[in-house]
Amino acid sequence: MHKILLITTGGTIACPDTNKARSPQDFSKTFPHSFCEHETQDIEIVEPFCLDSTNMTPRHYIELAKIITKNYGGFGGFVITHGTDTLAYAAAVLSCLIENSEKPVVLTGSMKPFMAKNSDAPENLHNALLFASDNHAHGVSVVFGKYAFDGRCVSKVHTTAINAFESVNFPPLALFERERVVFTEPKAEYSGTVRFYETLDERIETVFLVPGISAPIIRNETRAVIILGFGTGGLPVYLEGFLKELVSRGIYIIMSTQVLRGGSNLSLYEVGSGIMDRYPVIDAGKMTVEYASMRAMFALSISDSFEEFRRIFSNE
């Protein structure tokens, strides 16, 4: 029997079934413990905090990583229930803080409270526990709406639909059929050594380009800026002065795209390749905005030069 640590953090799944404005409560008050009696795993529950995920911060992510690090030897897998609004950010950052895990760390949540009629919560949690118990599952993932996604590739793509999450630029890891985990690729065997981290550097900013936008004001303490450009990552020529200013201030520049699928590719057009020729810019490639943001916080916290930051950010 697999021993699973269930970590609850709030979110819609922990909200009472009410028509009033939802707010998560102590999961022990909203979660039917009879649910666990029908599961095949040995489940232990901890609740480090109970928040609407809008209020999650890097401090909370680090606390989650510490809980998993502390309990890593005593459990076969970990399931985290989390609000959907920032669940993709949580999955992204935990993919950085818990590197190369041989044990599955699975995030899930729901669009309806656990006790609501026709709630998606019981199925999502059941599938998350099922995936966390699979001998071929490892690393950080998200289970939602009959699919398991790599935690580095997931984005919330709908505010109300039951299938609110998708894997961006990469296929899902697996789907669930008749109580079975069906992997979309041949089951890769785990190899490597797990590494744990407990630091993030929050001094990043994200700039969303709009046609005609003026050069934004960047805080003095900022150390890295992620620019969400047009198409494959292009930047208007009139904003090159903005790049010069960032470089002069020692701020690292990451170019990404505001388009959901396909990723950035600065070398495709002159508006991108010219930038790379003239400035020390990092191309985020197929990273989601969530993963690029969290990866930047992670890389900043453990690097002391641009080249080291670039190498860690790009996972080279």
Active site (catalytic) residues? 12, 84-85, 156, 269
Task: In the chain, count H helices and then E strands.
Answer: 9, 16
Neighbours of 77 (CB within 10 A): 23
Retrieve residue 17's tokens.
């079934």
- Residue 92: name the closest of 171, 167, 5 by CA: 167
Under a CB-based contact definition with an 8 Å cutoff, are residues 27 and 47 in contact?
Answer: yes
CA trace torsion 14, 46, 99, 120 (10° rounding): -30
Measure the N-to-C terminal CA separation of the chain; round to a whole number of Å.
37
Pairwise CA distance, residues 47 & 28, whole Å: 9
| Tokens 């030069």 belong to residue | 305
Pairwise CA distance, residues 286 & 266, whole Å: 12
- Residue 106: name the closest of 79, 76, 126, 139 by CA: 79
- Strands (E) located in 110-242: 139-144, 147-150, 154-156, 165-167, 174-177, 180-183, 195-196, 204-208, 224-229
CA trace torsion 151, 9, 224, 234 (10° rounding): 50
- Residue 158: name the closest of 120, 184, 126, 129 by CA: 120
Under a CB-based contact definition with an 8 Å cutoff, are residues 176 and 128 in contact?
Answer: no
Under a CB-based contact definition with an 8 Å cutoff, are residues 196 and 96 in contact?
Answer: no
